[in-house]
Structure 1
Amino acid sequence: MGHWLDRNIIEPGKLPLLLALAAFVLTFVITRTITRLIRAGKGPFGNVTAGELHIHHVVPGVVLTVVGGFGSVASGGDGLGAAFAAVLFGIGAGLVLDEFALILHLDDVYWTEAGRKSVEAVVLTAALVGLLLAGFAPFGVNDLSQEELQNRAGAAASVGVNFLFALIALSKGKARVAVFGVIIPAVAVIGSLRLARPGSLWARRFYRRRPRARARAILRAYHHDRRWSGPRRAVENWLGGTPDPTPRPLERD
């Protein structure tokens, strides 16, 4: 284990990244545990307030992220200073992304259906950082040969093509595929070739006069969501807690 850590983490200079990821994941787990205890009315924890103002944990998260980010730049990426700054950055990022949905909606949607976006953002970030630790380079640069890397034009063309595939996947309404495609180009290529999701920019532009393609896209999205929405919701509920039930609108006579 020690040999693997030295060869794959310490020697390539990835120790700060590993520390940041560990702090990020641990902060999210601890934060969600505390908020779920507060929600259930258990334990010694409670909301942090200043008078009547509820201080969300995104506030100290922003402060720690700024301090950790600038601290990492000031340390030059080496030594104990860089490691400490990476931990601060990971903690801050964990606090911020745990309330990502609040920032997105500018509303306290933490325990609502919209609050699931926070869990998705945390899982996606942790997965991408894990891929970077594993050695995957953005836009598949690690797949290039030494000769191709020395040829700047060829490397730039490869990055541009991979970016184009990721952009097409994004325009087809496949945000997760596009993000992972930045690290693993094959994912972006597959996502760019498959049917777009209904309502996406690609579908509105290219399926408008193609009713058969539009119908196939709707049918495929229906089957995909029916197959995977249940397991995805179960995992999200396990990670972040079950959202509050959406109140049904009052029926008028």
Structure 2
Amino acid sequence: MHWLAQWWAREVVDGCKGPLLLSFVAFVVAFVVVRFITRMIRAGKGPFHDISGGGGVHLHHSTPGMLILMLGAFMGIGSPPLSGWTYAAGVLIGVGTALVLDEFAMLFRLQDVYWSQEGQLSVNIVTLAAALIGLAAVGVSPLNIKDLPPEVAALRGVIVCWLVIHFGFVATTALKGKYPTALIALFVGPVAFVAAVRLARPTSPWARHRYSSEKLERARERAERFDARWGRYRARWDDAIGGAPTGQPRH
């Protein structure tokens, strides 16, 4: 436990990561709560009910989420460092981000696809975001090199350079539409490299903007083969977190 206390003191306390860690916890808790509520509303169970504005306009939770996120952001940049206001801002940012990203697919497509197959993109984005925020919250602070021996500081610099390259591969994997793979690639370096150089998903931003019609057809064929083998396992994971798409129950 001594090493854990040292890590906490150096990387969280001295690294000024308290607000970030609290924001991460708020992000995860808010996402779990909002998914629980929306699934109860969908099933018609419990005290929860649909919220609509005047004239039958549905109030999506990304709207208050954006307001909460903006409030937290301005509170964070306008507060004294590591004050109680900064920690409160971290909570607001975590909650607001969770509410917005939970409806990422709707904002991305400008359509109400929350319970559709396309809407499960939000689950992938939230999972990836949680992994990134969690790594930033509990990982080693690359700039926290005070009182370190020169050789240790140099080693940390090499590691930081490698991480920049690694996250570049992870970002490329995400742009290619391979969100679950990008999540795994965060923790397994070789996966990031392999996924980044292989064909993108045909519906990804990478494929739409960079592929010729012939290469896009190859990407579709490869995606069909991959989905035929692994699609049902991914669907079970998405359904367990986000709920089965409307009209498409899976077992």
TM class by smaller structure? 0.7 to 0.9
Q: How far 1:122 sits from its partner (Å)?
A: 0.8
Question: Is residue 68 of structure 1 aligned with residue 91 of structure 2?
Answer: no
| Aligned equivalent of 1:196 | 199
The match for 1:47 among 47, 50, 59 is 50
Relative to the length of structure 2, the TM-score reads 0.74
* Moved >6 Å (runs of 4+): 154-160, 178-185
Q: Specify the alignment match of 2:134 in structure 1.
A: 130
- Kept in 1, the 8 Å contact 2:120–2:238? The answer is yes
Which of 27, 31, 35 is the aligned partner of 1:28? 31
1:94 aligned residue (72, 94, 98) = 98
| Larger RCO, structure (CA 8 Å, separation 6 or more) | 2
For residues 159 and 213 of structure 2, the distance between their equivalents in structure 1, rounded to whole angstroms, comes to 31
**Helix, strand or coil at the partner of 1:55:** coil
Aligned partner of 2:145 in structure 1 is none
Give the deviation of 1:162 after TM superposition. Answer: 5.7
Moved more, 169-178 or 1-10: 169-178
Residues 52-110 of structure 1, C-alpha deviation per residue, up to 9 Å, x if partnerless?
22211111100000000111111244121110000011111111111111111212211
Between the two proteins, what is the percent identity of the paired residues? Answer: 35
The counterpart of 1:229, out of the listed 228, 231, 235, is 231
Query: What is the aligned-residue RMSD (CA, Å)?
Result: 3.7
Match of 1:249 in 2: none
Counterpart of 1:47 in 2: which secondary structure?
coil
Q: Distance in 1 between matches of 2:213 and 2:52?
A: 51
Q: Partner of 2:211: helix, strand, or coil?
A: helix
**Does the 8 Å contact 2:131/2:183 carry over to 1?**
no
TM-superposed CA distance for 1:163, in Å, is 7.1
Query: 2:245: which partner in 1?
Result: 243
Render the CA deviation track for 1:113-153: whole Å, top value 9, x for unaligned: 11101111111100111121232679xxxxx9744888xxx
Structure 1 distance, partners of 2:46, 2:176, is 45
Aligned equivalents of 2:85, 2:35: Cα separation in 1: 28
Which amino acid is 2:232 matched to?
G
Using the alignment, how far apart are the partners of 1:167 and 1:24 within structure 2? 21
Shift of 1:230: 1.5
The alignment covers a number of residue pairs equal to 231
* AA of the residue aligned to 1:110: Y
Question: Which residue number in structure 1 is paired with residue 17 of structure 2?
Answer: 14
Summarize the Cα distance change of 1:244–1:167 in structure 2 as closer, same or farther, 3 Å threshold. closer
AA aligned opposite 1:42: K
- Does the 8 Å CA contact 1:196/1:202 hold for their aligned counterparts? no
Q: Structure 1 pair 197/59, CA: closer, same or farther in 2 (3 Å)?
A: closer
Cα distance change on mapping 1:90 and 1:166 into 2, 3 Å: closer
Distance in 1 between the 2:141 and 2:10 partners?
18
Aligned residue identity for 1:13: C
Q: Distance in 1 between matches of 2:88 and 2:189?
A: 33
- Indicate if the aligned counterparts of 1:137 and 1:183 stay in contact, CA closer than 8 A: no
Contact 1:148–1:155 under 8 Å retained in 2: yes
Preserved contact between residue 57 and residue 95 of structure 1 (Cα < 8 Å): yes
Larger radius of gyration: 1
Asked whether the equivalents of residues 136 and 183 of structure 1 are also in contact (C-alpha less than 8 Å), the reply is: no
Report how far residue 49 of structure 1 moved. 2.2
Give per-residue Cα distances to partners, 1:150-207, cap 9 Å, x unaligned: 8xxx9998788667656765675546666887898655433334x3136436983597
The DSSP-based 3-state class of the residue aligned with 1:197 is coil
